[in-house]
Structure 1
Amino acid sequence: MRLNQATDYAFRMVLYLASLPEGTKITGAALAEKQNIPERFLLKIMRNLTAAGIMKSYRGVDGGFALQRSPEDITLFDVIEAVEGQTELQRCLHDISSCSRGCSGMCSIYNAFADIQRDLVTKLKAIDFAELARQESQLQAACGAAGDGPLKKAVSNEM
């Protein structure tokens, strides 16, 4: 399974907003610049995140984007589902009738992937963006203490 580039960008956008004070609003242009994401692509991804109730969009002169939910209430799974749609490791996990053997979910491969899928979903739902923002802050602090590592350079380029 490989997540697409839009999902990676979505993770970065949500993580960045999760690291700001709650309710902070930022323009799409500023967010695109800070996260090095093409603005047109960012706006397309934002539509998905807004439709999923992760982001809130504000129009007008003071417009922009903010998290609609608390970072504790947004998980990796939520973002993946918002951008990628329903994701299964095997198509028969979503549609049993798609089995070309006609097994209707009664085979060892289906059972193995069903277990893996359950574990994957459970783990993705257990990781929220409040915790990721805390970890990111600690990593940035550690890079600052360690000198000019790659993360520090990336962070200083954002500011």
Structure 2
Amino acid sequence: MKFSARFEYALLALLYLKCEPDESPISGRVLSEKLSLPYRFLEQILTDLKKAGLVRSVRGYHGGYRLALEPEEISLYDVFRVTEGKLEPYNCGQGENGDRCGQSYNMCVISSFYDDIKDTMTNLLKSYTLDKLCQASRNMVKSPPPRVANI
């Protein structure tokens, strides 16, 4: 499964809001510039995050966005649900009668395998929080570029 740019950009914006030491609101324009993301697309994502209660906005000259919840309360699953909707890593059983491939979903041999994948992905996304990701990013050490031998 490949995550969308929408999910990735939402995570980047939320991590920036969490990891930056300044507690003042950050405008969508500044976030866009700092993260090198398309402004209009990022604003759409921030609006969705606001509707979901993950960020709050402050109006005015010094306005912008802040986290609405504590970072340990925001899981990657929460962000995924806002940006992607329902987690469905497969198309099996999603036809009008639940029989996309001609088999009833409940009778399909591989349905339990697909359900296990879905459950594993859901649990993994729920296990990671913004706080956990921010701590991991602070612990990352940039490695020096590889040395190239002279020829």
| Root-mean-square deviation (Å) | 2.1
Consecutive unaligned residues of structure 1, counting only runs of 5 or more, are 150-159
Residue of structure 2 in register with 1:32 after alignment: 32
Richer in helix (by share)? 1
Query: Kindly, what percent of the aligned residue pairs are identical?
Result: 31
Structure 1 position 119 matched with structure 2 position 116: no
Shift of 1:121: 0.2
How many residues are matched? 144
**What residue in structure 1 maps to residue 12 of structure 2?**
12
* Structure 2 counterpart SS, 1:111: helix
2:113 is paired with a residue whose SS is helix
Q: Distance in 1 between matches of 2:74 and 2:87?
A: 17
Does the CA-based 8 Å contact 1:18-1:129 persist in structure 2? yes
Gaps of 5+ in 2: 146-151
Cα gap change, 1:93 to 1:135, in 2 (>3 Å): farther
Residue aligning to 2:149 = none
Deviation of 1:56 after TM superposition, in Å, equals: 0.8
Equivalent residue for 2:91? 91
1:68-102 C-alpha deviation (Å, 9 max, x unpaired): 11110111111111111112012346678332325
Instruction: Report whether the alignment pairs 1:107 with 2:108.
Output: yes
Paired with 1:22 and 1:75, the residues of 2 have a C-alpha distance of: 22
CA distance in 2, matches of 1:72, 1:27: 23
Partners of 1:32 and 1:39 within 8 A in 2: yes
Listed one character per residue, the Cα deviations across residues 129-150 of structure 1 (whole Å, up to 9, x for unaligned) are: 10110110111xx22xx55x5x
Q: Which has the larger radius of gyration?
A: 2
Q: Distance in 1 between matches of 2:24 and 2:136?
A: 20
- Structure 1: distance between partners of 2:96 and 2:106: 6
